[in-house]
Amino acid sequence: MDEKMGTNRFTEEQQAMLRQNPYVVKVSETSITYSVDFKERFYREYKAGNMPSAILRGMGFDPRVLGKKRIDRFVGNVSKYEAHNEDFHDRRKDSTGRPRTKDLTSEEKISRLEHQVQYLKQENEFLKKINFLEKKAQWEAKRRQQKNTRSSKK
């Protein structure tokens, strides 16, 4: 295992060995993608009280090859799926961040634009209030300063 920049990298031999495992969808030098079946089975056994390394060994993985950090991250991710009531499918291809507008119907586009207009109106009102309060604070500070100068002249 080569430790470069804090990443546990897989050697060519380790990658070849991992590809033989039916629970591996894809593996590269720095990452591994597990099958949905593996994630579901792992989570069931983990919730039943089995230790991650024992589960991995039982499913044909060598925990030393994967490394503690990668195993801990995997356990966290699997638990996160369950906490959000999501299934264990890989969603990276599905969510690219901002929702696409080209797939929306005309009604959906209108609704989205109306919402955006309302939001911008609220934002403008908020900014006006902030501007007013800042000017008021400056005016009051100037007034206090003038009072203090008059009272110190006496």
pTM of the model: 0.52
pLDDT: is 147 or 67 the higher one? 67
With cut-offs at 50, 70 and 90, classify the pLDDT of residue 125.
Answer: very high
Taking the chain, what is the end-to-end CA distance rounded to the nearest angstrom? 82
- Give phi and psi for 104, each to the nearest 5: -85, 150
Our CA angle for 20, 62, 90, nearest 5°, is 65
For 45-71, what is the mean pLDDT? Answer: 91
With cut-offs at 50, 70 and 90, classify the pLDDT of residue 3.
Answer: very low
The DSSP call for residue 58 is H
Nearest one of 88, 92, 95, 93 to 35, comparing CA atoms: 88
Distance CA 69, CA 76 (A): 11
